[in-house]
Amino acid sequence: MFFVDYEASYSTTINAPVQTVVDFLHDPAGLMRLNPVIIDVKNDPNDSQKFIIVDQLNMLGFKRQLTYTSKVTITEAGMEAESSTGAGTTTIARFIAKSAGTAITELEERTSVNCFFLFLPFIKGVIAKSHTESHTRLKNRLEGVEVKTH
């Protein structure tokens, strides 16, 4: 009753072969490091599919760090990450690379969130900014433009 669902979708055309994009998506830590709010990502030593992630978020003018876990599943065309970020909030991010022509790939992301309704405006804002920037960084990286990561 107090928890709500939200979904955001992003699509980016990348001037690179689909296999190049898929190969990058199969490096979950590399992909996560392109996200501007993620300041650290480590593979869980006990589970190769699990990652420990630290975000740095600006909450009400204060910088706060949030540590959470994400379980990654590699798929044929990309990857899926299911995260539990605390306070009952869960996210599932699905990334799929599709050929859009010779050496052109369409990267599609669909992120689903379930969270306490009062958190939704903040979460929507973070996702909109950080995921858009992540797509830009991924496009630039695969098209040979220098990219800043953490």
Each residue of 24-66: pLDDT tens digit? 999 999 999 999 999 999 999 999 999 999 999 998 889 999 9
The rounded mean pLDDT for the chain is 95
pLDDT at 100: 95
Q: Please give the domain boundaries of the chain with CATH numbers for all domains.
A: 3-142 (3.30.530.20)
Run of H or E including 62: strand 62-75
The pLDDT-based confidence of 150 (bands split at 50, 70, 90) is low
The one-letter amino acid code at 120 reads: L
The pLDDT-based confidence of 147 (bands split at 50, 70, 90) is low
Burial group, residue 50, by CB count within 10 angstroms (0-12, 13-18, 19+): middle
Helices (DSSP H) in the chain: which residue ranges? 18-25, 28-33, 120-142
Predicted structure pTM score: 0.92
